[in-house]
Structure 1
């Protein structure tokens, strides 16, 4: 997951909203959004390392992880995809889970992790140093920098979410359209993460289209104040070709079929 906007306790209906894109190599084996039979998590699954990037459990708890871009940092360590599942597979509250995980955060390659339960939304990052904090109500964003670092695509997605909440409309199309935005940011607004200008340009789009690397999934999670909610995933192949979508509720009630491929 390389871009996500989060609205925490700021929408009249939804306690938590997450809207994000997972960018990855197209050759990396991945399973579509499903209810995992071994844990009940609703998430897509990385079949190479076994984890996920964004998921929801039956109690309305959610988690999302992004990588932190630093070409000089180590990539050795446990899979970062295990960070969201590590929270969703336990009964621990978000603050307690992050407190315990912080002690071993440096074992992982650079990451941003956000976990939320009924009472708290908590951030943990490990680059350039271990940092944890409770998230205040409002709209926040993460990409491949730190938490709430205002990269162009993060600013755009957060702005769209804020305006959508203010509008009072229930139609999620504005969020989907923002996740599908392939515009490249102006050079003057690009971060310098050590990968060169050409790659910074390519990766500045919210939705990345490429033959070997790009946006693999767009996902929205919505959880109401009673802990009931849903997760909706749209999947893409090389050059952004649409492959299918799946929607699941976290209480096992059926949702309209949207082609669960």
Structure 2
């Protein structure tokens, strides 16, 4: 009996991980790492703090995306029916219990890291609640979605920066703002291009629902080019160490403009590649010091 209960618990956790989208969890970890490594460029790196902070942040991200998965049940039943909750492989009540537990663990762990980190963790959890849960549920509007995604991205980089011991804040804000704009101005809009049927059924007023996929894609492409060019120029001027990841973002923007591949897939591959490149060049820069 005990073995059966343990097996069910493991299966619930596995389904929660799938529901929270592993590719999203990975990129949040990379954002956190970039924030920490940018702070370490000044010569200060609290590696234990960075690693503990990363685990805490992973719990917070898991909690936020599980709550979002529960709140997206209607639209996902049409747009993403194979995800665990709409497919019936994960009960909404179980997902909420895991989300609550993850939030508690994140909060307690954040307190160990430090008071500032606790504040950032609380802010991130609050953003997740505001994004998904009625009566606010800003995910129902295009502007609200973009704003929360943008702030959530910046908070993640700041959390990594804080956990690693900090340093000079100004340089860290360049990739933090640019890559968060990539999340908000490109990803948050591109993900809705193929989801108009479910979003309309759930009463969401996304840009793709209001303007249609064609006009929305033009906005996505324009945003991508502005962000890609702006980021590249900024690092050429201030942070040459990040030329490679900025170049990756610019190439991704050009691919979007040239309509090479599905927009959301191009967005995701670009942000993963850019963050891996950023982590790599920042680690190399630290080793060379």
- TM (norm. structure 1) is 0.31
Higher helix residue share: 2
- TM (norm. structure 2) is 0.29
Higher strand residue share: 1
